């Protein structure tokens, strides 16, 4: 059991916030605060307000998942749980479920036939604990992308790169033109996330799975990973000059042409779309950094803390069902830049980047997401380490590699 949970906290978390009969004001907590994220979550709110008697009370928390998740957990443990909250697919909620704090959604899932429509089935598996279903997955996102602004490369007089190596070769020309090659936000999850993408692309699938899935510290210490750490050292230099915190501020630096590229999950696409940029014309996307044709299948799911008021519970279940409604899935995911979790809906005509993503998923070129493989504690330790490296120029790739391997050695 980690530091979040203690006996007294669990007991008080079962205290209730009652809603008025028949029409519940349901607070929904999430960290979707960029322009495209806010637009997407509004689709959920509209559907809940229009199609049920209840009211969506928006509980957005700025600053990303690492800021939001501890706030959500302390609300739950402090006896003031929200009606629903967003976590990533995977292991983030496992201790809350084990502690009996989450509402069992198995009846909703059975009634709505989730097992027949959720695709890939691993998304429903990630919500299942001892045969019961505790979350509603809402989308598929992947981390494994680099986004590039065509105009910046044109301005620097070089071709738009097609993989990591050719990207690094453009860096001197970009610098010469006053453009920062790579935009990386200051929050630790962005640095650790970018490293994870580079590790899969440059160390290869086998090594990445050995480290993240099998927790093989010798592979983390080995030559394949050494390549990824060296490249991450180069990335640190290439990112010098953009100093922003949030991921979408870094995306905006690319959109504005202040920086040329960003390694970020495909939620970045929502921001390019909002800026009216066209994939394949104004910006390019390289899944697997152009080096490896693989995506991870991560994304978001909603969990519902147990409440003792049956009206609240009924509203929670109505929301859970609605999140997977075919129309709601299309409305939300079209704005979010993610893929629906239902195999039986399509988004209409999708852009070049989403097509590439869909093709990779259809071909089965998929690895599990980091949030499915690593515990929150391990991820936090890696975040801390990678941000220390990022902000300490005297720390070498060799130093960080050894410390990374030690964390993997301890990981469960």
Residues 193 and 143 sit within 8 Å (Cβ to Cβ):
yes
Nearer to ligand BGC, 89 or 342 (CB): 89
Q: Which of 69, 75, 91, 141 binds ligand BGC (CB under 6 A)?
A: 141
DSSP secondary structure letters along 143-200: --EEEEEHHHHHHHT-PPPSSHHHHHHHHHHHHHTT-EEE---SSHHHHHHHHHHHHH
What length does the chain have? 412
Tokens linked to 388 = 């220390």
Residues 285 and 262 sit within 8 Å (Cβ to Cβ):
no
Least distance to ligand BGC, CB of residue 39, Å = 12
Least distance to ligand BGC, CB of residue 67, Å = 10
Q: Which of 59, 64, 181, 287 binds ligand BGC (CB under 6 A)?
A: 64
Q: Residue with the closest Cβ to ligand BGC?
A: 267
Nearer to ligand BGC, 31 or 147 (CB): 31
- Half-sphere exposure of residue 158: CA atoms within 13 angstroms, side-chain side: 23
CA–CA separation, 273 vs 174, rounded Å? 24
Residues 224 and 203 sit within 8 Å (Cβ to Cβ):
yes
Nearer to ligand BGC, 31 or 283 (CB): 31
Q: What are the φ/ψ torsions at residue 329 (nearest 5 degrees)? A: -60, -45
Task: Tell me: does residue 340 bind ligand BGC (CB under 6 A).
Answer: no
Give the per-residue contact string, 35-54, with ligand BGC (x = CB under 6 A; - = no): --x-----------------
Task: Tell me: does residue 145 bind ligand BGC (CB under 6 A).
Answer: no
Least distance to ligand BGC, CB of residue 49, Å = 21
Least distance to ligand BGC, CB of residue 44, Å = 12
Nearer to ligand BGC, 31 or 232 (CB): 31
Least distance to ligand BGC, CB of residue 283, Å = 18
Residues 412 and 375 sit within 8 Å (Cβ to Cβ):
yes
Q: Which residues contact 74 (CB under 8 A, 6 or more apart)?
A: none
Task: Tell me: does residue 299 bind ligand BGC (CB under 6 A).
Answer: yes
Task: Tell me: does residue 112 bind ligand BGC (CB under 6 A).
Answer: no
Nearer to ligand BGC, 41 or 217 (CB): 41
Task: Tell me: does residue 300 bind ligand BGC (CB under 6 A).
Answer: yes
Compute how many residues bind ligand BGC; rule: CB under 6 A. Answer: 10
CA–CA separation, 121 vs 222, rounded Å? 33
Nearer to ligand BGC, 64 or 376 (CB): 64
Element (H, E) at 300: strand 300-303
Nearer to ligand BGC, 19 or 59 (CB): 59
Tokens linked to 109 = 């899932």
Task: Tell me: does residue 31 bind ligand BGC (CB under 6 A).
Answer: yes
Nearer to ligand BGC, 47 or 405 (CB): 47
Q: Which of 147, 164, 229, 267 binds ligand BGC (CB under 6 A)?
A: 267
Task: Tell me: does residue 193 bind ligand BGC (CB under 6 A).
Answer: no
Nearer to ligand BGC, 37 or 284 (CB): 37
Nearer to ligand BGC, 275 or 395 (CB): 275
Helix (H, G, I), strand (E, B) or coil at 4: coil
CA–CA separation, 225 vs 16, rounded Å? 49
CA distances 17 to 68, 78, 80, 137, Å, are 21, 12, 7, 25
Query: Angle at the Cα of 140 (from 135 to 141), degrees rounded to 5?
Result: 120
Least distance to ligand BGC, CB of residue 9, Å = 25
CA–CA separation, 34 vs 336, rounded Å? 10
Would you tell me which residues interact with ligand BGC (CB under 6 A)?
A: 31, 37, 64-65, 88, 141, 247, 267, 299-300
């Amino acid at each position: 059991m980690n530091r979040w949970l203690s006996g007294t906290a669990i007991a008080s978390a079962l205290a209730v916030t009652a809603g008025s009969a028949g029409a519940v004001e349901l607070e929904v907590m999430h960290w979707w605060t960029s322009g495209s994220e806010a637009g997407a979550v509004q689709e959920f709110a509209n559907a809940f307000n229009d199609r049920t008697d209840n009211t969506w009370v928006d509980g957005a928390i700025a600053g990303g998942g690492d800021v939001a998740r501890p706030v959500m957990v302390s609300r739950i443990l402090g006896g003031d749980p929200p009606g629903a909250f967003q976590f990533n697919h995977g292991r983030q909620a496992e201790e809350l479920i084990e502690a009996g704090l989450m509402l069992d959604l198995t009846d909703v899932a059975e009634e709505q036939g989730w097992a027949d429509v959720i695709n890939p089935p691993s998304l429903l598996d990630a919500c299942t604990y001892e045969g019961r279903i505790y979350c509603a997955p809402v989308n598929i996102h992947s981390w494994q992308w680099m986004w590039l602004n065509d105009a910046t490369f044109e301005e620097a007089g070089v071709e738009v790169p097609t993989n990591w190596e050719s990207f690094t070769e453009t860096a001197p020309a970009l610098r010469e033109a006053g453009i920062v090659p790579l935009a990386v936000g200051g929050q630790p999850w962005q640095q650790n996330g970018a490293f994870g993408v580079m590790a899969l692309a440059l160390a290869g699938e086998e090594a990445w799975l050995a480290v993240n899935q099998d927790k093989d510290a010798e592979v983390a210490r080995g030559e394949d990973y050494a390549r990824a750490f060296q490249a991450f050292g180069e990335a640190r230099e290439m990112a010098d000059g953009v100093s922003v915190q949030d991921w979408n501020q870094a995306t905006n630096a690319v959109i504005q042409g202040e920086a040329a590229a960003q390694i970020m999950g495909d939620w970045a696409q929502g921001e390019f779309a909002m800026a009216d940029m066209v994939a394949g014309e104004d910006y390019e996307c390289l899944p697997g950094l152009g080096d490896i044709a693989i995506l991870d299948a991560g994304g978001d799911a909603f969990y519902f803390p147990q409440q003792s008021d049956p009206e609240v519970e009924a509203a929670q279940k109505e929301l859970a069902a609605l999140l997977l409604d075919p129309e709601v899935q299309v409305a939300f995911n079209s704005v979010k830049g993610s893929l629906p979790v239902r195999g039986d809906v399509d988004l209409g005509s999708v852009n070049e980047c989403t097509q590439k993503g869909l093709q990779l998923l259809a071909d089965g070129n998929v690895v599990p997401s980091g949030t499915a493989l690593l515990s929150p504690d391990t991820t936090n330790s890696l975040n801390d380490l990678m941000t220390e490296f990022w902000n300490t120029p005297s720390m070498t790739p060799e130093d960080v590699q050894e410390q990374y391997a030690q964390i993997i050695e301890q990981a469960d």
